Amino acid sequence: MNDALQEKLALLRQSYRDQLPTKISELSAAARPPATDDEATTRRYLETLEGMAHKLAGSGATFGFPDITISARSLELGCVDALNQQSLSIQVAVDTVGALVMALQKAVDDILVDDVTKAADVETAIVSDISKKLLLIIDNDEEAKHLNGEFENSGFAVHLVKHDVDLERTVKKLQPSAIVIDISAGEEKHPRLFAIDRLRKRDIFEGPLIVISGDGDIHVRLQAARANAESFMLKPVVASEIIDVLDQHLSSEGGDDFRILIVDDDVSTAKYTEVILQGAGMVAEIVTDPMRVLEKLDDFGPELILMDLYMPECDGQELAIVIRQQESFATIPIVFLSGEDNIDKQLLAMRSGGDDFLTKPIKPQHLISSVRSRVKRFRLLRSRMVRDSMTGLLNHTTTHEFLANEIARAVRGKSKLCVASLDIDHFKSVNDTHGHGVGDKVIKSLSRLLKQRLRSNDIIGRMGGEEFAAVLSGTSIEEAEKIFNGIRQAFSDIEHPSGKQKFSVTLSCGIAEFPARKTSVELLEAADKALYTAKNSGRNLVRLDSA
């Protein structure tokens, strides 16, 4: 476990333990019989106890106190049983829950009398610095050498191994972003496929699995499908085709910087969830007042909402309906995280707009896996609406929208930003000489280079054909000139295969700066004008707007 994360969790557990006397005191006070003996008063009495027990049941085991969860769950169910009786009276209610309250009190007392707080048995993900590493499992040395050579300039560090490798040990050590495996024709079963699938089920490997084979028979394809492979490719394949498939899957992940909004009125539990998700590399923020969720949605822009079901003023089911009424948030995944284990109530909540239901307490690794899978799916669906299908970059319309947003942010922050227009030189000649298929690969190679060289928060769009645009926030025009001169040089060094030959291509670039140019239209027009200057000056150049 990451030492810093372990320390944070230990502090949260200690804080939760320190709050137990107050929590159990409040519950004991609520359990005292009210003076009035009527059905409405009795119902409020039981419902109050049920709500307090529900929160303790969900948080106890989360912080390493399973006895609290067991006792609190018993009290919660006792209150539910009493509420379901045909006639309600205070005496019957007290007789039903009295012993259960005492049992919960004893569970808390047993913890508090132990002066030495043991470390919580908390499972969590080990966060590591994972670059784009590709594990290629192939026995044919000649094919392996050929593919590895083509992977140059792809942005992947390729690691070649044979089928007899210690797979689990290799994956744990390498932590690859993806696995590509060549399965031999003629075998009835392919055990390595299922070994990889087992690693994914154990959360040892989480990336895409690409299967290549010389046999496209239905039986072979079924083996790949049963191993949950993301793609099956029939040989002969070239590295660029594999890269295209990997780009499609990995672009939806964008690293682990997933933006998660946690909505939970229990501060301790919300903080615990935040620490777990942040420890896995995610960006998590908390809202403890459900009435403030809409304003937080606008400010934070989450990719998933992790929401408690039972909260004051507005429960999770109602809040999900309100969120779904907002067109801009209608597709954001909503996952309920609650101690509610009644399947009928879970299904009812999900009918209101929830996408999944996770029951407290939940193991950290299960929480992380569930959140990751939902956000990846959300990103993949969103990317198909706003991205260019060939390159995975933002499309023309979305680039304009994002540029307008960045200008508004620059105005608020009184900061600079730069817009660059790029164009591949003599691209028509590439298509005429080598064919449109090769031309498409040249376009893809530039898109990959831009994604590698620019920051994750920079905006990169394909404006049409061989034309691209990039928006660099917080960057001066002098800094942008250095960046794009580096990209220009790197692109000219790439050798593109065409049959048995290889050829190189150059690009030209024009750059404009805000606030010298005030609007998105002015910025793009100025960047285009500078681009034309670069073209007219001999190409393979970067030129700046003269404003």
Residue 245: pLDDT band with limits 50, 70, 90: confident
> Which percentage of the chain shows pLDDT scores above 70?
91
Question: Per DSSP, what are the bridge partners of residue 284?
Answer: 260
What pLDDT was estimated at residue 115? 38
Tokens 């010389």 belong to which residue? 214
383-390 long-range CB contacts below 8 Å, 24 or more apart?
A: 383/251, 383/252, 387/251, 388/461, 388/462, 390/440, 390/443, 390/444, 390/462
Q: Return the DSSP state at 387.
A: B
Q: From residue 103, how far is each of 75, 97, 107 by CA, in Å? A: 9, 10, 6
Strands 259-263 and 283-287: parallel
pLDDT digits (tens, 9 = 90+) for 185-203: 555 667 888 889 888 888 7
Strands 417-424 and 467-473: antiparallel
What pLDDT was estimated at residue 156? 76
Measured between alpha carbons, how far is 271 from 30 in angstroms, rounded to an integer?
26
Residues 6+ apart with CB under 8 A from 264: 270, 273, 286, 288, 306, 307, 308, 311, 337
Q: Tell me the mean pLDDT in the region 170-189.
A: 80
* 484 has a pLDDT exceeding 90: yes
Q: For the ranges 175-179, 222-226, 237-241, which has the lowest average pLDDT?
A: 237-241
Question: Per DSSP, what are the bridge partners of residue 430?
Answer: none
Q: Cα angle vertex 82, ends 76, 86, to 5°?
A: 150
* 1 has a pLDDT exceeding 70: no
Q: Using CB atoms within 10 A of its CB, is residue 142 exposed (0-12), middle (13-18) or buried (19+)?
A: exposed
Measured between alpha carbons, how far is 18 from 394 in angstroms, rounded to an integer?
50
Cβ atoms 535, 423 nearer than 8 A? yes
Residue 251: pLDDT band with limits 50, 70, 90: low
Q: Cα angle vertex 138, ends 189, 191, to 5°?
A: 20
* 400 has a pLDDT exceeding 60: yes
Q: Cα angle vertex 180, ends 174, 182, to 5°?
A: 125
The number of helix segments (H) and strand segments (E) in the chain equals 19, 17
Measured between alpha carbons, how far is 179 from 382 in angstroms, rounded to an integer?
25
pLDDT digits (tens, 9 = 90+) for 490-503: 999 999 988 888 99
Measured between alpha carbons, how far is 158 from 250 in angstroms, rounded to an integer?
15
Q: Using CB atoms within 10 A of its CB, is residue 48 exposed (0-12), middle (13-18) or buried (19+)?
A: middle
Query: Could you tell me the domains of the chain?
Result: 3-112 (1.20.120), 133-250 (3.40.50.2300), 259-368 (3.40.50.2300), 396-544 (3.30.70.270)
Greater model confidence, 383 or 314: 314
Q: The tokens of 15 are what?
A: 């804080």
* 5 has a pLDDT exceeding 80: no
Q: Using CB atoms within 10 A of its CB, is residue 220 exposed (0-12), middle (13-18) or buried (19+)?
A: buried
Q: For the ranges 69-73, 262-266, 340-344, 476-480, which has the lowest average pLDDT?
A: 340-344
What pLDDT was estimated at residue 188? 60
Residue 255: pLDDT band with limits 50, 70, 90: very low
Its pTM stands at 0.51
Residue 538: pLDDT band with limits 50, 70, 90: very high
Helix orientation angle between 343-351 and 316-324, rounded to the nearest 10 degrees: 20
Greater model confidence, 524 or 163: 524
Residue 248: pLDDT band with limits 50, 70, 90: low
Measured between alpha carbons, how far is 274 from 284 in angstroms, rounded to an integer?
6
Cβ atoms 364, 253 nearer than 8 A? no
Q: Tell me the mean pLDDT in the region 333-349.
A: 85
